[in-house]
Amino acid sequence: MRTFQGHSNWVSAVALTADGRQVISASLDNTLKLWNLETGKEIATFTGEAPFICCTVAPDRVTIVAGNSSGRVHFLRLENVE
- The answer for residues whose C-beta is within 8 angstroms of residue 80's C-beta and 6 or more apart is none
pLDDT of the residue at 82: 58
Residue 73 has pLDDT above 90, yes or no: yes
Please give the average per-residue pLDDT across 47-65, as a whole number.
Answer: 95
Please give the average per-residue pLDDT across 56-71, as a whole number.
Answer: 94
> Amino acid identity, residue 77?
R
DSSP one-letter string for 18-38 = TTSSEEEEEETTSEEEEEETT
Residue 67 has pLDDT above 90, yes or no: yes
Share of the chain above pLDDT 90, in %: 82
Q: Which domains does the chain have, with CATH numbers?
A: 11-77 (2.40.10.480)
